[in-house]
Chain A
Amino acid sequence: MLRFLLRRVALAAVTLWLLSVIIFVASHALPGDVGRRILGPFADPRAVATLDHSLGVDRPLLVQYFDWVGGLLHGDLGTSLSFHTPVAELLLRGFGNSLKLAAVAFVIVVPLSIFGGVIAALRRGKLLDRVITVGGLSATAMPEFVTSIILILVLSVTLKLLPISVQVPPDTDPLTQIYHLILPSLPLVLVLFGYIARITRAGTIEALESDYTRTAVLKGLPWRTVVIRHVLRNSLMPTIAVVATQTGYLIGGLVVIETMFNYQGIGQLLFTAVSQKDFPLIQAGVITVGVIYLVATLLADISYSLLNPRIRLAGRE
């Protein structure tokens, strides 16, 4: 068990290091002249040189890389070029806001998709199964801005059920805040529903066909008990893994949703950074996204192995 965990952590560290190289290469080496990119093609060469110098981008690439990574390791993410505030502060605030939005999405989608997946598996091949499977597949494939348009039109403009605006006065009570976050979280729910329901369905079907389920049925347990005690416990394990890996997609979706609804989270921050060519913010923002993904998958692996004795004991060779 311990060896398994250590190996996973080591792999994550290697991945993180490679990620830092990729981000550095993409954002420092590719643009060539950073100052020129920021100031535009008609700027005075002297102004470009001055900006390059003050940004430190006229130094050798290796020096810049170690300087940047050193800063990251000390928690110094640099200063944003467009907001003129420390990047760490911006990211922390954005991360908090995104977390609220993502939490609302997860609270809705996890029970819903597990329920959907289990129902689909129990009614395999029937109409309800086809509706959930094909509907989930289509919803998953739909870009968030397309589903947002349709949801805004139906839920806000026509039925007037949910507010479009996410802007609420800061002193509003939490329930109203959550109420305003429901509409922007629904496109994320739709994307995630298909994935999670599909994995839950597959896991449930496998559990239903297993010998232990047959034994439980044959020894006369009521069907409800079989499903809850024997099938669900096993079928939900893969679901945990998939929920964690979806955090990656979730952040991609947040870029669109937050930009569209003008919600100040990490996604909108990334979008602003990219459109303003705010390189310190881009670099730190992207590596934060990578870290979130790696931590989530690591936690998933750990909880998965804690739940699954086959993995938990495999390390004891």
Chain B
Amino acid sequence: MEATLASVRESDHDQAITAALPSLLPRLYNFARYRLAPDDARDAVGAALEHLWRNRGRAPDADTVSVEHWAMRVAVNKMLDEVRRHRRRPSQVSLSDLDIGVSDPNDRLPQLLQLRAALETLPRRDADLVALRFGAELSNLEIAELWNMTPGAVAVAVHRALGRLRTEIGLKGDSDART
């Protein structure tokens, strides 16, 4: 029996997802690092990208923006599963691990480290939410689609999670209190 494979050629889906990877990777990794230690975060991102690649044939036949949106949703869903698979363990943050631009004031570093440690103290759902919103940089609307909530409910939940985080690191968060 002989069968000739189609010429090796990228499909439209392959191209669209490949094009989306450069922007997806840092967002997925940051989401993972909000929740996991470095090695676990890398594994989780790897698993998410494998999952995405396996399912690329299901990507919508639409413009690149839609494919990227779909890809992010699929990958993030997989990463939420991955995060749940890991037992919590003490966070590890080194200076070289942080991507702090030259414009960042140096005196924020202790606060950032404190903030990362504080993320460990949040209830799981709050931690997921903060990681989705600020690590993966999803909008309230995108989180709402992911979790089958209304954007308003997401906004409230984010606000509450930030309140807990703020309390944990000792920020008052009150406009009057800062002035």
Q: Do A and B bind each other?
A: no
Which residues of A approach B to under 8 Å, CB–CB?
Answer: none
Which residues of B approach A to under 8 Å, CB–CB?
Answer: none
